[in-house]
Structure 1
Amino acid sequence: MSPMRGEVNSFTNAFAVRVFPANPYDKKIKVEVHVYDQDFQPVNARISPNVFQLAGQASRPVLVVVPFDGATDRKVRICTESIPFPNEQTQIRAQICGKFFGHHKS
């Protein structure tokens, strides 16, 4: 996933980050994108798309919109998780997370 870090200034009640999950394998994979706070508690963010399939050696953009929920600064982790297909020999879930900081400007 790229970028792995980011800092965003926003004048609204939310900030947006565009990340690019990638599939380094030759076979297609199913991908889920999740957002967590710095303690890995789920964050109610809008993720578009949040579940999709990626062809081998491919990547695609995903837009993540995170609310400030009244805070002036927000630290989140955006995580890309590969989900094994049923009936595959290996059932390994991989998770890659990046750190992102949002700053609310008045």
Structure 2
Amino acid sequence: MRAAQLLVVLFWLFGSSGSAVAQSLTPMRGELVSTTDSFALRLFAGNPYHHRMRVEFRVYDADFAPVRADVRPAIRMLGGGGKAGVLVIVPFEGARERRVRVCVESIPFPQQTTRVRTQICGKFLARRVG
């Protein structure tokens, strides 16, 4: 029993001392109405790290199949602690309703030894009226 108590104390002292950080995307979800044959989203990506990172915005359907969309700009460079906006325009393609996921994905720099790609996605539902 004493060993288990010691492990709990050690975890509390060392395991919880660091704070977890991750890139962000806001808003993460939303519903909107459009009167045209496309809809637009304004999203912001955040970089919580002290170093710069390059990110790419991609649009997928509900099953993560790529969707034809206009993303401006599709690739951004985020400074340490920085935040940047992007405009996403998605056509309805004849449908009255469209569910999409917009993801921001980090792109590792070629000279880095770590090649980890992170991805965070928001879910959006758009309805066409008129």
Q: Which residue of 1 aligns with 2:53?
A: 29
- Larger helix proportion of the pair: 2
Q: Write the distance in 1 (CA, Å) between the matches of 2:100 and 2:58.
A: 10
Equivalent residue letter for 1:59 = K
What percentage of residue pairs aligned between the two structures are identical? Answer: 50
- Structure 1 SS opposite 2:45: coil
- TM-score normalized by the length of structure 1: 0.98
**Structure 2: 5+ residue stretches without partners:** 1-24
Report deviation, 1:86: 1.0
Structure number with the bigger relative contact order (C-alpha 8 A, sep ≥ 6) is: 1
- TM-score normalized by the length of structure 2: 0.80
Q: Which residue of 1 aligns with 2:113?
A: 89
Q: Write the distance in 2 (CA, Å) between the matches of 1:63 and 1:6.
A: 15
Q: Which residue of 1 aligns with 2:100?
A: 76
Q: Write the distance in 2 (CA, Å) between the matches of 1:6 and 1:52.
A: 23
Q: 1:4-23, aligned counterparts within 5 Å?
A: 4-23=28-47
- Structure 1 SS opposite 2:84: coil
Q: Write the distance in 2 (CA, Å) between the matches of 1:19 and 1:38.
A: 18
Q: 1:51-62, aligned counterparts within 5 Å?
A: 51-62=75-86
**Structure 1: 5+ residue stretches without partners:** none
Report deviation, 1:24: 1.1
- Structure 2 SS opposite 1:61: strand
Equivalent residue letter for 2:45 = P
Q: Write the distance in 2 (CA, Å) between the matches of 1:27 and 1:81.
A: 16
Q: Which residue of 1 aligns with 2:27?
A: 3
Report deviation, 1:89: 2.6
Q: How many residues align?
A: 106
Superposed CA RMSD in Å reads: 0.6
